[in-house]
Structure 1
Amino acid sequence: MTALDDRPGTEACPPPGLGIGRLLGRGCFDVVTAPAGLDREVRGVTIWDPAVPDAVEAGDLVLVPAPDLTSVLVEQVLTAAADADAAAVVVKAPGDPATLRRRADRLGVTVLVAASEVPWDDIATLARSLAPADRLSRAIGRPAVLDLYELAEAAAYLLEGPISITDEELRPLAFANLGHPVDQLRTSAILARRTPSDARKWLEDSGQWARLRSGRAPMRIDIPGAAPRALCPVVARDAIVGYICLAAGGAPHWEPDLDALADVAAAAAPFFSAPLRGVDADLLVADLLRSVLRGTASLSALAAEVLPGPGQDSWCLVALGASGCGTGGEQGNYEDDRQLAAYARLLRRGSAAAVLDGRVYLLTPHWGSEDVVALAERMRQRADSLFSAKFSACVSDALTGDVEIPGVRRSLDRAVDLLASQGRPRTALLSEVRPNTVLAELGEIVKGNPGLLDGVLDVLQTGSARDTDYLRTLRAYFDAGCDVSEAAKRLQIHRNTLRYRLHRIEALCEVDLSDPQQRFLVELHTRLLPVT
């Protein structure tokens, strides 16, 4: 939907902070006018009733479910909202937008228009979630969450315990541990995507299931053999549509946390409403990123999807691979795009993540190499946790919309394979490891053409201790940039000893290391030969 008012200050885009502007991010609302801005805090919700105009309170979002906005009704609603200092008024059929805007501007009242296909019950559910979501955002020091996975992350951080968000049958929809201890019940429920049968039977036989289905407040559940839990129902349209489950971590979480748990449940309610939930953007973006990686879609198309609007023309691609698993390997069968995408966006607005051929890929705005490396390292650690494997990550150079992404991907894949083979998982820039990846690629070529290494160092490949020392000497000499003193220091020998070895190598191999071409050939062969 587009804004009904194109004047500066009333664009249909939510501000980065809190307030009623967050309604606009769901694509179900337009702005008629916002004379006081879109960052007004929503403290409550009032359904307009002409018989009780004094019911509107400060900070309220006033919903006007009237089929026809007459001039008299508009004047009544706007006057009541202005007198009470309400956050905003929400209508569906604006009638004459220009007249409505003039009256609202005169009284200083923000007015939003809701899409006709969104039921008022769902609008009320979303409106009632704003204040709890704002409290949650302030508590964690971060703008409001955008989906259930981010909500679970925020709740686990705030409540210092594992969080699960489930449907009405206790089937997990999203979860977050953040390093807090978990029990077998939680692990089994997440893996099976349902509550284990023995735990469900206990809930029903003990009467706890009936209590859960009829209650509206958080309650404690003590399932035998499992950590204590606090469950709070998620209510939409006056029906329980899911639950927020907080499992006890290192210490029980009860009365002090119940209000926060209720806020999490209220903030989750809109995500259970189909009109407000909309299309699963994470999965769509992951599919688009896979197309870009294959070369069937452009980087500019993906950029327009994940970060609409001008101003971002430089991007960075990160590849992550597990140790012992090359591209397409069996160990790389990871299929949790949604959690990766949610976590990527949590770390950096405009990022996208996807799994392809056993690799995890992250595309993110490029704001400096150090910044992207730090982001990639956090993604690497998340992949470690999510897939129970040890990942290495490689970060590309800055990319623009016309770059050939499949070629960049191939370079990153080679670099990740090299990093993973070193047995020390880490994150590195592609520019740092590019010389090694070129050598690795040349090594693959040599495997298919072993004759390319014939001749120059044949005499040193006997496997004797002397010849191994000579190969190590050459490697140290070239690593030191042909600086005799530095190479001797690295080998912990005297410079004269190093010079003697070099002269012996020249005599044995019949080469002249002072000749640039011969020296290059010796160095290339030295780097392609394994030195044990």
Structure 2
Amino acid sequence: MDACTLGDLLDVIGGPSVRLHTAPRGLTVPVTEALLYDAHAPLPRAPGALLLAVGVRASAAGPLARAAAQAGMSGLVVRGPDGPLAEAESAGVALLSVDEDAAWHQVHLLFASAIGALPQGPGLTGTGGIPGTAALGDLFALADAVAAAVGGATAVEDPRQRILAYSTVPGQAVDEDRRQGILGLQVPGSPENSEQYRTLFAARGVVRLPALAGRDNLPRLAVAVRAGGETLGSLWVVDDGGLAPDAEEALTQGASTAALLLLRARAAQELARHQDGDLLRRLLDGTADPAGAAHRLGLDTVRVAAFVLDSTAPAPDGEQTALRLLDLVRLQCETRYGRQACVLVDGVVYALLPAPGEHGGAREPQGRAGVERPSAPRPGGVSTVGRSAPAGAPRRRTNRHSHKGLAEDIVRRAGQALRVPVRAGLGDVVAGLAEVPASRADADLVLRVVGPELPVASVDEVRPRVTLLRLTEVLGERRELSAGSWRGVLAYDTEHGTDYARTLIAWLDAGCDMAGAARLLAVHPNTCRYRLKQAQQQLGIDLDDPDERLVLWLQLRTLGGLDARH
């Protein structure tokens, strides 16, 4: 993809708050930027732009739609539902609307961050195949800029206290908590630390926090990073007593920029997820180009994993629960392998798992502030986030035998979170994405044979079961394959109250051993012997013919549904 399109944009931010009313030129028109309308300035020539109708009522925006078309713009965004639909269609520009009470600066931030994240070429990823890495590289540059302006070592964190970026301005003081946090890319946990985070996220602006007790630590200056009403993370500055007089103002400005960068990273990640999911959907049904898919996903040898809610325990809202299952599967797969293709198709969540030797796993994160970070991006340079791992960082696992462990972990976690049992099936490992439909067919078959006693299985583990399942379907579809003496055996048992069919199955299951059959049926061997003799005489079955024994056993097991063990 060379540029963001209207369809791409709607995939990321479309929904109840951003609605498309018309797109006369389709969803493939390019979208290059979001512009705020200024009634006191001439409208610029801006091919591909979306014009935000600031200060113009939706019902009166018809002239603005025509002016946007003359300026080469792709669309007009109004506030409220009563936009100039006819004028937009006549002018050939898309018409979108946002909520009536939406603030225009927040709308502009939403559109600008999404558009800024999308046109990054195939895969829409930064270094290492991690969605939004370019934006995370910008966070390092931001941390350096804030540190220089404020006068203290700075770190950018997400809401879970994971460190996303940090400054490396020489000569700035650091303490033990900062060093330990950078080495683990996670803020060290403690009750006192948790209380400081509660104070920070409850505040509306910058807060000054005392040094944590028990270590050689320094105070902090911190501010929450928010967009609208959502908390995206936080900015932290080590305060050694020498911060700039305007440190709070500089930190507030840094938080505003961090919000834009974090939204951009999220938009890139969501778009990459959507596109990877759509690509996986086409791989599953055999309509995707395998070579192009392999290039985009960075995978070749793979297997399909399928997850489904247990139909015997229906959820209150099946569709929403299935979407939550998709989120859970994606989260666990991304934690294990990094960027991951997952999709929900007809109630089944499919994931494409890399086989041994593939490079589709997660890159390791880099170090943090106060400790030299490898390949850190410099201002004006290209981010190299993800090229090196800190000491002690976990390595990704791509052992094929770990696939089942991952599936079992997902089934356990999903069952607990959704309060509905989840089943999982693993298809065969295939060499080449052209064979993904075959691995999917395997996984689908496994889902049909797993249950409470075996909630997770690979196709190799249940090969006999799935083979009999497919044989049942094939035999049942063909008249010449479903005809035979098995029908006469069942009919005779029904009419005369005999038990010849179960006796035959037990004897055949036991390898034609009379004592073994008797044990399966819990009867005397002479009883089995008598029944088999009567069955041959009454029904004309030749049990001395190995071919007839084989066909009779298959038909009774598959079409008759008999099993001496149950």
Q: When the two structures are superposed, what TM-score results if normalisation uses the length of structure 1?
A: 0.50
Work out which structure has the larger RCO, using CA pairs closer than 8 Å and 6 or more positions apart in sequence: 2
